[in-house]
Amino acid sequence: MSENVSHQFDRLPATEGERDVESRPTREAIVSFWVDRFGVDPETFESDTFWERGNGKIWVFAEDVETPVDIEALGMSFMRTRQEHWKPTTEAVQRFGDRATRNIIHLDREAAERFLAGEDQQLEWDGDWGYLIVTHDIAGDTEPIGVGLYVHGELRSQIPKGRRREFGGE
Amino acid sequence: MDALSRYEPIVEDYEAFLSACERPLPSVVRVNTIKATVERAERGLIEAGIELDPVEWHPHLFRLPTDQPGANWPYSHGWIHGQEEVSAIPATVLDPEPGERVWDATAAPGSKTTQLAARMDDRGLLVATDSNLGRLSALRSNTERLGVTNVAVTNEDARNHSLKPFGGEPYDKVLVDVPCSCEGTIRKNPDTLEEWSLGHVTGIADVQKAILERAIQTTREGGTVVYSTCTFAPEENEAVLDYALQAEDCRLVEFELPLMYRDGVTEWQGERFDPQVERAKRIYPHHNDTGGFFVAKLEVLG
């Protein structure tokens, strides 16, 4: 087994059989996560490649290059897989979350604003606990905002600090 | 404004030019078509109580009366990006297609990079390079918010850009929107000209020449390079093109631009340039009520 090298991007192995870094998830497992957890059609990611830089930081890239590659960024940060429960990034949910069919919690405008501001809130939810895709209605349709962690009757906003916004009662 | 007086011989209606330079610019946003249609972004902004006027020459641009494009839902969803109107010109001239190999040679903070990605429908390889790590972090936060997945970001001096991480293959199209003396941004940043010096202009022109040369060298035969600046100085515009026409196997080509413009100048302070530089376009603040800009389109021949 090889070691994970933190500054370079390594393409994820397609399957377990091709894996040479022990902790590295496979492409198959990443796609299965989106299919199983959120009901996303696996064809969504058909032409994308997945990469790891740093332990458990997974990126999605629309093209392919030779692996490994030592550059600043490759596509978009997509997931964190270091912990037991895998977590999609805000960016990934905003980009691909409109294809989800389950584990979606829909908020009214006021709750959505609190979520975007980074607040945790008590909410009813009779589905699975864990990471959910948080949506609201805007401009005639539903739109994903980001990721919430639902535990013990509470939706905890996972919006990163730099993307939190307060609109001041707009 | 004294620094601008040197342009009196090449700018018609110089008084109108000066008074336009003194007026502030309206705030403009570009719709990010990777994440929203123009209609939906427009509806989202109206729902947020934001008034907006379409920009006639470009269907993805809107002028906003308020200067806070960041505090609303459409921004948080990555549907819109604050971008000066003239800054949207070079990506429309380069006009990359989905699936092409494209290089943005001096990419940070990423307004044009994300615009190129949107024109490519987020498909194909878009390499974005900048030498400044701090500015690259701004670029990264823009590409992420706007949902760009086809970008590969490198931290290097564009003059020494390496194709090695990308299989050594040349690009189909390259955008060279170089660092410049920024005279054309005076309506946005009134302090821009305070530290103006001819030494700075000629010094930065040497960097511009070297970046443009590298861009031409990394583009395939028949490929396109777009050169642009936000400055009026011919030293940084036509003189840089004149140098590239002599040093590299390329030519300047005609192109359409649905804005009022003037042709590139073939003579400046006694120096004559290759007549092809006339095919470049100068955008002055008083003609379209915008910032100032310069853009040229090159075809690589060798």
Nearest CA to B201 among B173, B172, B236?
Answer: B236
Does residue B166 belong to the interface with chain A, where contact is any CB pair within 8 Å? yes
CB-CB under 8 Å, B149 with A76: yes
Domain end residue (candidates: A60, A79, A97): A97
Residue A2 CA: distances (Å) to CA of A6, A28, A71, A86, A165: 12, 20, 20, 23, 42
Domain boundary among A97, A124, A150: A97
Tell me the per-residue pLDDT of B22-57, one tens digit each, with 9 for 90 and over.
999 989 999 999 999 999 999 999 999 998 999 999
Distance from the Cα of A22 to chain B's closest Cα (Å) equals 25
The CATH number given to whatever domain includes residue A107 is 2.30.130.60
Residues A33 and A50 in one domain: yes
- Quick check: A3 contacting B, CB < 8 Å? no
Residues A18 and A91 in one domain: yes
Task: Report the pLDDT value the prediction gives residue B68, as an integer from 0 to 100.
Answer: 64
The predicted pLDDT at position B269 comes to 95
Cα(B52)–Cα(B63) distance, integer angstroms = 6
Helices (H), A16-151: 27-38, 90-96, 109-116
Claim to verify: residue A124 and residue A58 sit in the same structural domain: no
Count how many Cα atoms sit within 13 Å of the Cα of residue A97 in the half-sphere of its side chain: 29
Last residue of one domain, picked from the residues A65, A80, A97: A97
- State which CATH number among 3.30.70.260, 3.40.50.300, 3.10.440.10, 3.30.70.1170 fits the domain covering B26-83: 3.30.70.1170
* Pair (A41, A107) in one structural domain: no
By the CB < 8 Å criterion, does B147 face chain A? Answer: yes
A120 and A79 belong to one structural domain: no
**pTM (global) more than 0.90:** yes
Please give the Cα distance from B189 to B59 (Å, whole number). Answer: 26
pLDDT per residue over B133-181, tens digit each? Answer: 999 999 999 999 999 999 999 999 999 999 999 999 999 999 999 999 9
**ipTM of the complex in this document:** 0.96
CATH topology of domain B2-25+85-300: Rossmann fold (3.40.50)
Give yes or no for B23 touching A (CB within 8 A).
no
Are residues A90 and A42 part of one domain? yes
Q: Where are the alpha helices (DSSP H) in chain B?
A: 14-22, 38-47, 73-76, 89-94, 111-119, 133-145, 198-217, 238-247, 285-288
A167 with B147: Cβ contact below 8 A? no
Q: How many CB atoms lie within 10 A of CB A49?
A: 20
- Summarize pLDDT for A11-25 with one digit per residue, the tens: 999 999 888 888 899
Partners of residue A104 on adjacent β-strands: A133
User: How much is the pLDDT for A22?
Assistant: 85
**Domain annotation covers residue A5:** no
B175 burial (CB, 10 Å; 0-12 / 13-18 / 19+) is buried
Q: Which domain holds residue A86?
A: 10-97
Q: Nearest C-alpha of chain B: how many angstroms from A21?
A: 22
Minimum-distance CB partner of B73 among A71, A138, A168 = A138
In chain B, residues under CATH classification 3.30.70.1170 are 26-83
